[in-house]
């Protein structure tokens, strides 16, 4: 009876939603991936470019992932390559979230000509071929990680901006926003304090997807030989393994599995963030 009385007046507490399996599994795998990236140098210390044993040593107790054609320990390289993927993915996602919220929030809140102009620019960004653009930039300005991060960050915020705009369009007509305006709050203050915090969760979920996309693009460019030659990445390891697929299967299997697990984990986490099932079925 009390809950019905509160519901009639719009004061009913929100039901807590149970975490979805994808959120739990994705969160656990992502946390494991982050820990391995942060602790990789402690778990397998040493220079990944330095020889550690005889060439083409198969997986063993001393070298769980085996060694490559130059005798370099593959476990050490895979763990330290995770750090490169983490840097690329998180930097691109953070930039995507910031630019997407800014562009989408301003477009949705102001509307009119500003909305049209910003959304046309967003559509231009969305149709850009990110992989080939990154390939051209790296080929022209040098194969280093900074150039890759910049081009991916500046071309990955379009979908985030569209999601942010849709959320702002819905949120700005809510009663709490109208009440804030009636109390004299200015436009930027209303947008920053009342509108954007309520659209942050779905926007962050789409920004999280950019982590996996950035990891795949970096791995693809490194696989083609356009990665940073001074850094060990998973794509670099796959590029090195091409000539030895039949002779040393472990050179391609372990970096490939690392890429698949990292991307799947992040996509599961993002999918779980986008939608949760209510605990009581409502």
Question: What tokens were used for 1?
Answer: 């009876």
Question: What tokens were used for 221?
Answer: 């460019």
User: Rounded CA gap, 229 and 233, in Å?
Assistant: 9
Instruction: Give how far Cα 67 sits from Cα of 171, 173, 187, 253, Å.
Output: 55, 61, 60, 13
pTM higher than the cut 0.85 = no
Asked if pLDDT for residue 104 goes beyond 60, the answer is: yes
Least-confidence region, from 99-103, 149-153, 196-200, 219-223:
196-200
What beta strand segments (E) does the chain contain? 17-18, 277-278
User: Rounded CA gap, 48 and 237, in Å?
Assistant: 11
46-84 pLDDT tens trace: 888 888 889 999 999 989 999 999 999 999 999 989 999
User: Rounded CA gap, 50 and 8, in Å?
Assistant: 70
Write the CB contacts of 47 (distance below 8 Å, at least 6 apart in sequence): none
Longest alpha-carbon distance in the chain? 76
Residue with tokens 């915020």: 157
Write the CB contacts of 269 (distance below 8 Å, at least 6 apart in sequence): 22, 23, 26, 27, 29, 30, 208
Give the pLDDT band of residue 176 (cuts 50, 70, 90). low
Eight-class DSSP state of 71: -
To the nearest 10°, the Cα dihedral for 135, 138, 141, 143?
-160
Give the pLDDT band of residue 180 (cuts 50, 70, 90). low
Of residues 19 and 242, the one with the higher pLDDT is: 242
Query: Which domains occur in the chain, in start order?
Result: 20-47+75-274 (1.10.3720.10)
What beta strand segments (E) does 100-233 contain? none
Whole-number mean pLDDT of the chain?
A: 83
Write the CB contacts of 22 (distance below 8 Å, at least 6 apart in sequence): 268, 269, 271, 272
184-222 pLDDT tens trace: 566 566 666 667 777 887 888 888 888 989 999 889 888
Q: What is the mean pLDDT of residues 86-93?
A: 91
Q: What is the mean pLDDT of residues 88-109?
A: 89
Q: What is the mean pLDDT of residues 255-267?
A: 93
Asked if pLDDT for residue 9 goes beyond 80, the answer is: no
């Amino acid at each position: 009876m009390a809950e019905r009385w509160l519901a009639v007046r719009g004061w009913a507490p929100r039901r807590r939603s149970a975490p979805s399996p994808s959120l739990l599994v994705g969160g656990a795998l992502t946390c494991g991936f982050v820990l391995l990236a942060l602790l990789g140098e402690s778990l397998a210390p040493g220079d990944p470019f330095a020889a550690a044993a005889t060439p083409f040593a198969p997986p063993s107790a001393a070298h769980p992932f085996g060694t490559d054609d130059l005798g370099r320990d593959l476990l050490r390289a895979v763990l330290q390559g995770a750090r490169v993927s983490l840097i690329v993915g998180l930097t691109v996602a953070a930039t995507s979230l910031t630019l997407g919220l800014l562009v989408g929030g301003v477009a949705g809140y102001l509307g009119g000509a500003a909305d049209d102009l910003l959304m046309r620019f967003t559509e231009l960004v969305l149709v850009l071929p990110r992989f080939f653009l990154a390939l051209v930039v790296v080929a022209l300005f040098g194969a280093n990680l900074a150039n890759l991060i910049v081009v991916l960050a500046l071309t990955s915020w379009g979908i985030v901006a569209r999601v942010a705009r849709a959320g702002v369009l819905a949120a700005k007509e809510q009663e709490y926003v109208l009440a804030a305006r009636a109390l004299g709050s200015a436009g930027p203050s209303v947008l920053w304090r009342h509108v954007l915090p309520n659209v942050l969760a779905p926007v962050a979920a789409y920004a999280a997807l950019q982590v996996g996309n950035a990891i795949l693009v970096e791995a693809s460019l490194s696989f083609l030989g356009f990665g940073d030659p001074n850094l060990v990445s998973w794509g670099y390891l796959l590029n090195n393994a091409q000539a030895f697929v039949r002779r040393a299967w472990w050179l391609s299997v372990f970096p490939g599995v690392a890429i698949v697990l990292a991307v799947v984990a992040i996509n599961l986490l993002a999918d779980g963030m986008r939608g949760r099932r209510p605990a009581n079925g409502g």
